[in-house]
Structure 1
Amino acid sequence: MKSTLMLTAVLAAFALQAQAQTATAPRAAADQIATKQGPLTVQPITHGSVVFTWNGKTIYVDPYGGAEAYAGLAAPDVVLITDIHGDHMDPKTLAGLPVGKALLVVPNAVAEKLPAEYKAQVRILGNGQQLDTLGMRVSAIPMYNLPEAPDAMHPKGRGNGYVLTLGGKNVYLSGDTEDIAEMRALKNIDVAFVCMNLPYTMDVQQAAQGVLAFKPGIVYPYHYRGQNGLSDVDNFKKAVNTGNKKIDVRLRNWYPAAK
């Protein structure tokens, strides 16, 4: 009897340990940015995915990589998806997340590929369109490869970058883009998330030059894993701050499980 109880206790301990290991995936610490309506919490997840919490609302951007990466976070009120590729539109991850009451803001190409169960929750935005919801504004802006070509991995008009306006702050999410004219022309961006991964988007120097053109207050390099591994974000920071010391380049580990 004693041995049976010991075995039960050991198995229970292993089960709890396994649950703890799978419940919360490793992720970078969250940042807080002051706004006129309380702090904006920025939680890096992985690659191009980030979770924002602001004014009692939670926003998931490009949920990807498995639902376990979002363990412990509040259910989303809004989900933004930028493009059709699997590292942005990930039905398997969506299926594991509590998105049943969330508004899904997506480009038309994503809406066409989402599982039917989400159709009633979808709001389609095309480049140049805006949506006011939950006390914030979502503006869809272009994201695409240069030179423009119909067979590009990211043709103009298919996907969306986004600018969120909340609490008096403007937050830019580049999606998969290069240093296009529309990005360079951005004004009054307080926080920017900018990609840099070859051959899919742009290199470090392109990204730095684009950032120096629109001069955000804070910039996070994200989406920086390419075919040859992780981009040199330290070099990105150096290039940006050589050109403009006032830009706060925040390096965070978007690939905590990478070796």
Structure 2
Amino acid sequence: MFSRRTFLQSTVAAAGTISVLPCLANAKGHDLQFADGAVRLTPVSHASLVIETPMGVIYADPVGDPAQYADLPPADLVLITHHHGDHLNNETLAAVMREGTTLISNKGAHDKMTAELADRAEVIGNADTTRFGPIGIDAVAAYNTTEGRLKFHPKGRDNGYVLTIGGMRLYLSADTEDVPEMRALKDIDVALLCMNLPFTMDIKAAASAVNEFKPSVVIPYHYRGKDGGSQDPIAFAGLLDSAIRVEQGDWYGKGKGMV
């Protein structure tokens, strides 16, 4: 049976792919070993990523130039968290969908899809569960709680996701603040956590939540903001408990500012 201890031991053993805090890895892809095989997370941009697993290839919020995905394995499952333009683009989504690809979305994004895409989508809401073959999918509430930000992500509309892949549990926060539903998560092995202002939260709130639900590994993403609201993922790492490992990804391309 896979355990968090097994996960930590096996990731440390994967030479050259993951380093333990206080070292911070900067890599285009993250190779994570666990009892049922390897999972590779490839940042595409901002909130878009590809997760390769032994059970299938998962695309999360694919947007941008479809050419960005040309060298990546085709999608077996696509997850959409909500309808904002940095998470849903119908042209990109249509390009990465192939015959047999499963599409899962919240209702808000489903309502913004083309008719053809909407017909293919399974809609789930906060606290709903579903499966993609052996992969369990739990929708986690993602919303704003701070006055002045409530309009961006109202409570009850948007999804984060917890994926159970074999014995590994991966949390994709989507756009949210440090809400109780996040803080209550248990046994998360890998967490991808947003942080930007004014749309989500700052690094102090993000770190406070991570220190409470204690994932084994956290990967900051979605940290470019507006009007000075970009957050520093390296400063975020410095706020975490020493037992929590941090992976830094190439979300915005070298030479474009922060890692």
Bucket of the pairwise TM-score, normalised by the shorter protein: 0.7 to 0.9
Retained in 2: the 8 A contact 1:194–1:219? yes
| Whole-angstrom distance in 1 between the partners of 2:27 and 2:117 | 30
Corresponding residue for residue 170 of structure 1: 169
Corresponding residue for residue 10 of structure 2: none
Once the two structures are superposed, what CA deviation does each residue of 1:146-176 show, in whole Å capped at 9, x if it has no partner? 1379962100111100000011010000000
Corresponding residue for residue 231 of structure 2: 231
Retained in 1: the 8 A contact 2:191–2:218? yes
TM-score (ref. length: structure 2): 0.84
| Whole-angstrom distance in 1 between the partners of 2:214 and 2:96 | 35
More helix by share: 1
Retained in 2: the 8 A contact 1:66–1:96? no
Tell me which of the two structures has the higher relative contact order, counting C-alpha pairs closer than 8 angstroms and 6 or more residues apart. Answer: 2
| Whole-angstrom distance in 1 between the partners of 2:147 and 2:128 | 21
Retained in 1: the 8 A contact 2:219–2:247? yes
Q: Which amino acid aligns with 1:232?
A: D
Alignment of 1:120-135 (within 5 A): 120-135=119-134
| Whole-angstrom distance in 1 between the partners of 2:133 and 2:48 | 21
Corresponding residue for residue 219 of structure 1: 218
Retained in 2: the 8 A contact 1:127–1:157? yes
| Whole-angstrom distance in 2 between the partners of 1:95 and 1:229 | 31
Counterparts in 2 of 1:151 and 1:209: CA distance versus 1, 3 Å: closer
1:102 aligns with 2:101: yes
Retained in 1: the 8 A contact 2:170–2:188? yes
| Whole-angstrom distance in 1 between the partners of 2:225 and 2:148 | 21
Count of residues paired in the alignment:
230
- Shift of residue 81, structure 1, vs aligned partner: 0.4
* Cα root mean square deviation, aligned: 1.8
Structure 2 runs not aligned, ≥5 long: 1-25
1:76 aligns with 2:75: yes
Retained in 1: the 8 A contact 2:126–2:139? yes
| Whole-angstrom distance in 2 between the partners of 1:97 and 1:178 | 29
Identify the range of structure 1 (30-39 vs 126-135) with the bigger mean alpha-carbon deviation: 30-39
Among 245, 249, 254, the residue aligned to 1:248: 245
Q: Which has the larger Rg? A: 1
SS of the counterpart of 1:235? helix
| Whole-angstrom distance in 2 between the partners of 1:148 and 1:34 | 41
Structure 1 runs not aligned, ≥5 long: 1-26
- Shift of residue 97, structure 1, vs aligned partner: 2.3
Retained in 1: the 8 A contact 2:142–2:173? yes
Q: Which amino acid aligns with 2:165?
A: L
Moved over 4 A (4+): 148-151
| Whole-angstrom distance in 2 between the partners of 1:209 and 1:160 | 21
| Whole-angstrom distance in 1 between the partners of 2:150 and 2:177 | 16
- Shift of residue 102, structure 1, vs aligned partner: 1.2
Retained in 2: the 8 A contact 1:50–1:62? yes
- Shift of residue 105, structure 1, vs aligned partner: 0.6
TM-score (ref. length: structure 1): 0.84
Q: Which amino acid aligns with 2:105?
A: V
Alignment of 1:25-174 (within 5 A): 28-147=27-146, 152-174=151-173
Retained in 1: the 8 A contact 2:111–2:118? no
Q: Which amino acid aligns with 1:87?
A: D
| Whole-angstrom distance in 1 between the partners of 2:129 and 2:147 | 24
Retained in 2: the 8 A contact 1:148–1:155? no
